[in-house]
Amino acid sequence: MPAPPLFAKVNDQTIAYDVAGQGPAVLLLHGFPQTRAMWDRIAPALARDFTVVTADLRGYGASSKPRDMPQMSFRVMGQDMTALMTHLGFDRFHLVGHDRGARVAHRIALDTPALIQSLTVMDIVPTHHLLTDLSHQVARAYYHWFFLAQPEPFPETLIGHDPDAYFERCLLGFGKATLADFAPDQLEAYRAAWRDPDCIRAMCHDYRAAIDVDLADDAADLDRRVPCPALVLYGADGAMARAMNVAATWTDRLADMRAAAVPGGHFFPDQSPDETTAALRSFLLATT
């Protein structure tokens, strides 16, 4: 059994986190519909060289679940994370995110660039690009963006009848994954989280906020580039890689960018943890 999380009261939220290792700080952020448990096969290897912090985003896992939709925007989720790292004594850190965590990480790097030593985003294209250059291929693969964003309580009610069926379909539906790709203890952590009606509501609010709040925030920053070294990783067989040139969507948003494909689909950190760890470790050591 994994150790119980630590908790920090920051930014009017309770944030669940784990910390391990010594050295320069690295913050790892999970995505939908996962929790910080997604890093369980990656964080220990990174902890040989770094102080590794894994945290549940607000609304997810064991962190608190805001009731109001604007409180699930990427900006306020990012403010939780910078407050957490300040609470832990880190005034500068490497930042890594997958899926929603990558979108939070991108927003953090725009809002507080002085804090970020390097940025890694995993298997996303910029939010503004996704929503304004939407193709039917992407809309079909990522239909959940628009289903979850429907007015409350429509998606919550449908999902609540069988959360495991819905969210496990999400794990399998974004490119080349099977349930066997996810370690049993990780799956149990995800199920425990997403069976909570408050978590279901918060995750829906996350996607509502992407359209109602985050899109405007990103539109206001289209002329800005993240200045720190940045790594774009994506699943070689994922829906994004099949539909577009993932690296090209980031060239006007990251000033110092490199990109690489990793075997697997959207959830390549789960499918290919060794390859993901190697790519991350090489980049982090080179930018420390």
pLDDT band of residue 3 (cuts 50, 70, 90) is confident
pLDDT confidence band for 2 (50 / 70 / 90)? low
Share of the chain above pLDDT 90, in %: 96
Which entry of 94, 144, 266, 270 is annotated as an active-site residue? 266
Pairing verdict, β 116-122 and 226-235: parallel
Question: What is the three-class DSSP state of 16?
Answer: strand
Q: Give the pLDDT band (50/70/90) at residue 43.
A: very high
In contact, 83 and 222? CB cutoff 8 Å: no
The pLDDT of residue 152 is 98
What's the pLDDT tens digit per position in 120-139? 999 999 999 999 999 998 89
Is residue 176 scored above 80 in pLDDT?
A: no
Confidence band, pLDDT 50/70/90 cuts, at residue 177: confident
pLDDT of residue 175: 65
1 pLDDT higher than 70: no
Q: Is the pLDDT of residue 247 over 60?
A: yes
More confident residue, 3 or 159: 159
- Catalytic option among 18, 40, 80, 99: 99
Q: With cut-offs at 50, 70 and 90, classify the pLDDT of residue 107.
A: very high
pLDDT above 70: percentage of residues in the chain: 99
Whether 40 is catalytic: no
Rounded distance, CA 57 to CA 36, Å?
A: 8
Annotated catalytic residue 18? no
260, β-bridge pairs: 233
What's the CATH number for 6-286?
Answer: 3.40.50.1820
Q: Where are the domains of the chain?
A: 6-286
Q: Which of 42, 67, 66, 69 lies closest to 54 in space, CA to CA?
A: 42
Rounded CA separation 134/210 (Å)? 14
pLDDT, tens digit (0-9, with 9 covering 90-100), for 4-13: 899 999 999 9
Q: Per-residue confidence at 85, pLDDT binned at 50, 70, 90?
A: very high
To the nearest 10°, the Cα dihedral for 190, 203, 89, 10? -120
Q: Ramachandran region of residue 59, left (φ > 0), alpha (ψ -120 to 50) or beta?
A: left
Length of the chain: 288
> pLDDT tens digits, residue range 128-167?
999 999 999 889 989 999 999 999 999 999 999 999 999 9
